[in-house]
Structure 1
Amino acid sequence: MPECLTEDVFKLHQQKENQHSINHMNELAKTHYFRWPRHGKQIAAYDDLRIIIDNYDCAIRYMDDHVGQVLRKLEELGVIEDTAILISADHGENMGELGIYSEHGTTDQGTWRIPMIIRWPNGLKGRVDEGLHYHLDLAPTLASLLGAPKIESWDGQSYSDSIINGRSTGREYLVLSQCAHVCHRSVRFGDWLYIRSYHDGYNGFPKEMLFNLIEDPYEQVNLSQERPDICKEAVYILNEWHDEMMSSMEYDVDPLWTVMKEGGPLHAREYKK
């Protein structure tokens, strides 16, 4: 079991009634998940959490094995050194962070930190890039690697120098939005993750959450009350980002507020029903 999922944390999570909480997962096991092997069992005791964790690990192992088959075939064909390989994903998955399991419905580290593995001909090998990048940075990165011009309307910025030369190309901060399950915006900067809740999706989230991801990578301790100074810094960054985005848009309505005026995030409305 992950170190963060202690028996005390499990008991705390059992008391939650939010989307994809343990209790909600048990409801879904009876109404939906029972159709698939290993997914229909109730999470009644601490050791039952292994069902969720093991199922996710099994999926990762399945994908890893098949990626390995592709790489071995490229080696057999003698073309692997000349082949660009990119492995990524559209989102991560919460495995207990914020009391959420097997879902990707917030703007926290579990949901939006994704894999990005790039093997480029003549690129560096064995390097880990710790910089902050958006997924939308991929398009200008590929354009740069292929010698194509960047389209001026793109918001992304290339990190090709990190791939080829090992230079630091990370952003100073990231701002992430989520409007499907909740209406959240988060700021990732330094050691910190700040989450601001506009509609909590009936998850009981406070207006502000703050986590030190170096000391607390699984988001167990909300420090927003203890560190208002860091929250103020994050809100300043969020406002600067918002001004920049609104000034570059062709219309004058923030999409997040469009969702709010529609009655909140779609999946939250379905959950409430």
Structure 2
Amino acid sequence: MRILYLDLDSLRPDHLGCYGYHRNTSPNIDSIAKEGVTFTNYYCSDAPCLPSRSALMSGRFGIHNGVVGHGGTTADMRRDGVNREFNDRLGMESLPAILRQAAMKTASISTFSERHSAWTFNAGFQEVFNVGGRGHETAEQVLPVALKWLEDNGKAENWFLHLNFWDPHTPYRTPDSYGNPFGNEPLPEWLTEEVFELHRNKKGQHSIEDMNALAKSQYNGHIRHNRPIEKHDDLRVIIDNYDAAVHYLDEHLGRVFSKLEQLGVMEDTAIIISADHGENLGELGIYSEHGTADEATCRIPMIIRWPGGMRGAMDHGLHYHLDLAPTLASMLNFKGAPSWDGESYADAILEEHSSGREYLVISQCAHVCQRSVRFREWLYIRTYHDGYHGFPKEMLFDLKHDPYEQHNLAEECKEICKEAVYLLNEWHDSMMGSMDCDIDPLWTVLKEGGPYHAKEYANSSIHIIYDE
């Protein structure tokens, strides 16, 4: 079996054509979706980058593997300690390690491990290719390495290639010569003049005001951030350039698919398209960042085109990205790892039968400390540290009628909030009862001074919200 896993950083599903976006950002991704299964309620368990990919490859929630932040103790994976065998658990039970035990060649083309000093991410990979950009490289720098690997290995049987592109990640680095493919197209309808005025007056981290300050400082060298956002149409600095990055990325994915066609293996190769997290583009008044445990940050695309699987299907069940490991194990008819927290959704790929979860708990501890519950049409967000955003302790959004999180219904819908808190406590009890230590890493983040990226935000007081 050949498996190509496309790990596309900061890619929102609702900015792809196959998820209904009004702009033609992703014709090559859309072509794969037509031949496979598109998952519409797919979430990273722990955001953003480092916690997300640590959960995916270890197969365990951040509360279990210990990685929930971008700095401090919780940026390092928990070790096995006195119970460590000759090989540690990660080296034997990570997703690529299990695939390797199933006689698959495993390779990763990514700068992720160096960017975050996340060397545990490489566990189980036989080959790791680092193009040297620490996450700032463009698709045109990654593509030659990917094409060379496929040229050398693509025709062989039994391989798993993790291929990582960063282009939609802030700062937007699509070459200036690429222009703006969407300059004549309307902005998303929900970003009205009224919404813009509300957001323009918002203070705090990741606000429009903060984005304008970043354009003069750390984004100063990036030409796509050289215009301040002062009026409604200036939102194109963010929306158009994000979409241009998606389109630029999609063109390079088309060349990867063309290489598979050229090698004669396209039809027999499983193609998985996903992301580590999404990107807030106005939700909660936040722009160009993935710093919350909300729909915009934690909902991610998942498209699986599997040889012999369903074609042109959509699955609306609730799934975590760490469910991928047991799913692949099931699809390949081998045993998974005992430490995995995921549940297989193989039947959704082979039989178009949804097997989603009743609810999900999604977490963020790098920019804020939040845990959220996604159930039915609801998203409940509980904030323990607001990360200079001014968030209340509780937020509740009706995603069916308010998908862009503009109306907090927590005060109006107390009974729904109580139901969400019950589910959150049920999940937390299960997590704490199934781990070999008694430390919740969210509280470690708080005790170490708060989320890593909140510490970087200058000249603001820290707001910590504790449960009574």
TM interval, shorter chain, is over 0.9
Q: 1:214 aligned to 2:400?
A: yes
User: What residue in structure 1 maps to residue 221 of structure 2?
Assistant: 35
Whole-Å Cα distance in 1 between the matches of residues 249 and 316 of structure 2? Answer: 24
Q: 1:171 aligned to 2:360?
A: no
User: What residue in structure 2 maps to residue 117 of structure 1?
Assistant: 303
Asked if 2 retains the 8 angstrom alpha-carbon contact of 1:202 and 1:272, the reply is no
How far the C-alpha of 1:205 sits from its partner, in A, is: 0.3
Count of residue pairs the alignment pairs up: 273
How far the C-alpha of 1:39 sits from its partner, in A, is: 1.0
Amino acid in structure 2 at the alignment position of 1:30 = K
Worse overlay, 141-150 or 236-245: 141-150
User: What residue in structure 1 maps to residue 196 of structure 2?
Assistant: 10
How far the C-alpha of 1:37 sits from its partner, in A, is: 1.5
User: What residue in structure 2 maps to residue 248 of structure 1?
Assistant: 434
- For residue 339 of structure 2, the aligned residue among 153, 171, 183 is 153
- For residue 231 of structure 2, the aligned residue among 45, 64, 88 is 45
User: What residue in structure 1 maps to residue 59 of structure 2?
Assistant: none
SS at match of 1:151: coil
Whole-Å Cα distance in 2 between the matches of residues 77 and 253 of structure 1? Answer: 50
> CA-to-partner distance for each residue in 1:144-169, whole Å, 9 max, x for gaps?
11111021211011111111111111
> CA-to-partner distance for each residue in 1:237-264, whole Å, 9 max, x for gaps?
0000000000011111111011111111
How far the C-alpha of 1:73 sits from its partner, in A, is: 2.5
Superposed counterparts of 1:48-87, under 5 Å: 48-87=234-273
- For residue 132 of structure 1, the aligned residue among 306, 309, 318 is 318
Specify every segment of 5 or more residues in structure 2 that has no aligned partner in the other structure, as ranges. 1-186, 460-468
Whole-Å Cα distance in 2 between the matches of residues 181 and 73 of structure 1? Answer: 39
- For residue 373 of structure 2, the aligned residue among 172, 187, 196 is 187
Q: State the identity as a percent.
A: 68
> CA-to-partner distance for each residue in 1:78-128, whole Å, 9 max, x for gaps?
221111111111010000000000000000100001111111110101011
How far the C-alpha of 1:75 sits from its partner, in A, is: 2.3
SS at match of 1:90: coil
SS at match of 2:457: helix
How far the C-alpha of 1:197 sits from its partner, in A, is: 0.4
Q: 1:226 aligned to 2:409?
A: no
Amino acid in structure 2 at the alignment position of 1:208 = E
SS at match of 2:223: coil
Whole-Å Cα distance in 2 between the matches of residues 112 and 164 of structure 1? Answer: 26
SS at match of 1:239: helix
Specify every segment of 5 or more residues in structure 1 that has no aligned partner in the other structure, as ranges. none
Structure 1 runs, 4 residues or longer, greater than 3 Å off: none
Asked if 2 retains the 8 angstrom alpha-carbon contact of 1:34 and 1:41, the reply is no
SS at match of 1:11: helix
Amino acid in structure 1 at the alignment position of 2:325 = A
Amino acid in structure 1 at the alignment position of 2:403 = P
Amino acid in structure 1 at the alignment position of 2:237 = I
Superposition RMSD in Å: 0.9
Whole-Å Cα distance in 2 between the matches of residues 222 and 176 of structure 1? Answer: 18
SS at match of 1:195: strand
Q: 1:264 aligned to 2:438?
A: no
Whole-Å Cα distance in 2 between the matches of residues 38 and 88 of structure 1? Answer: 25
Whole-Å Cα distance in 2 between the matches of residues 215 and 195 of structure 1? Answer: 17
Whole-Å Cα distance in 2 between the matches of residues 103 and 177 of structure 1? Answer: 15
Whole-Å Cα distance in 2 between the matches of residues 34 and 255 of structure 1? Answer: 35
User: What residue in structure 1 maps to residue 129 of structure 2?
Assistant: none
SS at match of 1:38: helix
SS at match of 2:370: strand
TM-score (norm 2): 0.58
SS at match of 1:35: coil
How far the C-alpha of 1:72 sits from its partner, in A, is: 2.4
Whole-Å Cα distance in 2 between the matches of residues 270 and 19 of structure 1? Answer: 10
Asked if 2 retains the 8 angstrom alpha-carbon contact of 1:183 and 1:197, the reply is yes
How far the C-alpha of 1:27 sits from its partner, in A, is: 0.2
How far the C-alpha of 1:34 sits from its partner, in A, is: 2.1
Amino acid in structure 1 at the alignment position of 2:306 = W
Worse overlay, 35-44 or 88-97: 35-44
Whole-Å Cα distance in 2 between the matches of residues 229 and 272 of structure 1? Answer: 38
SS at match of 1:131: strand
User: What residue in structure 2 maps to residue 201 of structure 1?
Assistant: 387
